[in-house]
Amino acid sequence: MDKCQLCLLDLTAAFDTVDHELLIQRLQRTFEISGSALAWFESYLSDRTHCVVADSVMSQVIHVSCSVPQGSVLGPLLFLLYTEDLAELAARFGVTLHAYADNNQLYLSCRTDDANLSVAALERCVTAISLWMSANRLKLNMEKTEWLWTGTGSNLDRLPESARRLTMGNDVVDVADAVRVLGVVVTPDLSLDKHVTRSAPSASSSCVSCAEFDGHSTMSLWRL
Angle at 126 between CA 128 and CA 90, to 5 degrees: 70
Output the pLDDT for position 196.
Answer: 85
How far apart CA 14 and CA 16 sit, in angstroms, is 6
Output the pLDDT for position 64.
Answer: 85
**Sequence-distant (≥ 6) Cβ neighbours of residue 213 within 8 angstroms:** none
How far apart CA 103 and CA 141 sit, in angstroms, is 12
Output the pLDDT for position 195.
Answer: 84
Q: What is the pTM of this model?
A: 0.83
- How many angstroms separate the Cα of 159 from the Cα of each of 24, 150, 172, 175? 45, 11, 18, 11
Digitized pLDDT (tens) for each residue of the chain, 224 residues in all: 789 999 999 999 889 999 999 999 999 999 999 999 999 999 999 888 888 999 989 999 988 888 988 888 999 999 999 999 999 999 999 999 999 988 999 999 999 899 999 999 999 999 999 999 999 999 999 999 999 999 998 889 999 999 999 999 889 999 999 999 988 999 999 888 888 888 887 776 777 767 666 655 554 544 54
- Nearest CA among 7, 12, 5 for reference residue 133: 12
Output the pLDDT for position 107.
Answer: 96
